[in-house]
A and B are shown apart, each in its own frame.
Chain A
Amino acid sequence: MAVRVQEADFDPGAELEALSSGDTEIGAVVSFTGLVRGAGITGMTLEHYPGMTEKALAEIETKAHARWPLQGALIIHRIGLLSPGARIVFVATASRHRKAAFESAEFIMDYLKTRAPFWKKEAGTDGTSRWVEARDADDSATERWQR
């Protein structure tokens, strides 16, 4: 179980290798990588709440472990100034079978989007900047896991 909040970029391949190596019980590894969409923006700044962020992410991982039989899980979230195309977030889960790995990765992302204290501010190509607004669709995605 691992959670990392960092300014630095990460290597998805190396992270997947590290997550799955040494445990031959693992039969499935699923990952999600979120990128900065570049349309109309020159960059994006990620603000967070140090301390609470790490706690919230660890709680989400614990919830996923309680719900699915996981061999491992990893959440990496970047902060600071990111350029279009840059990696923002990485979630990977490892399990004996694919269903648990697929579902838990989606569960972690849905919870992360609505529970982890991060805020995005976009710098537009027109010189203005704006805080990204939360989407109702993200709340609905999280709520469906609570039914």
Chain B
Amino acid sequence: MQVMYFAWLRERIGVGAEEVSPPDDVTTVGGLIEWLKTRNDRYAAAFADTKAIRVAIDQEQADFDAEIKGAREIALFPPVTGG
């Protein structure tokens, strides 16, 4: 699946999007973030405060409990500030 990052999350991680293959026991968005945090210090720092993270699955708003099975595109980003 593709994971996308926006705004300061993108800057802290260093890429805007990447293909990832989490293990089978990673089933939710929350689980995915915990798994990403184990990759290296940059991810761990970027996701240190998960209260500041919002999520969309296949371009629809979702929450941390949402299942990621079958998702094509998971986007993680700070609260939006448009308008």
A51 to B75, CA, bound (A): 12
Q: Give, as a whole number of angstroms, the nearest-CB distance from B71 to chain A.
A: 13
Q: How many residues of B contact A (CB 8 A)?
A: 16
Q: Is the CB of A117 within 8 A of B83?
A: no
Instruction: Give chain B residues whose Cβ lies under 8 Å from the Cβ of A47.
Output: 6-7
- List residues of B (1-48) whose CB comes within 8 Å of A's CBs: 4, 6-8
Within 8 A of A (CB), among B28-83: 56, 59-61, 75, 77-83
Within 8 A of B (CB), among A112-128: 112-121
The total of Cβ contacts below 8 Å across the A-B interface reads 69
1/0 contact trace for A21-59 toward B, CB 8 Å? 000000000000010000000000011110110010000
Q: Give the interface SS of chain A, mostly helix, strand, loop or mixed.
A: mixed
Choose, from A6-14, A64-72, A96-104, A129-137, the stretch at the interface. A129-137
Q: Are A112 and B56 in contact (CB under 8 A)?
A: no
Nearest chain A CB to B74 CB, angstrom units: 12
CB distance A113 to B7 under 8 Å?
Answer: no
Q: Size class of A's contact patch?
A: 20 to 34
Contact partner of A121 among B4, B7, B61, CB < 8 A?
Answer: B7
Q: Is the CB of A119 within 8 A of B80?
A: yes
Q: Are A113 and B6 CB-contacts (below 8 A) given A49-B77, A119-B77?
A: no
CA A119 to CA B8, docked complex, whole Å: 9
The verdict on A115 contacting B83 (CB below 8 Å), with A52-B56, A52-B75 known, is no
Distance, CA A27 to CA B83, complexed state (A): 26
Given contacts A113-B81, A119-B77, 4 further A-B contacts (CB under 8 A): A49-B77, A113-B83, A118-B82, A133-B79
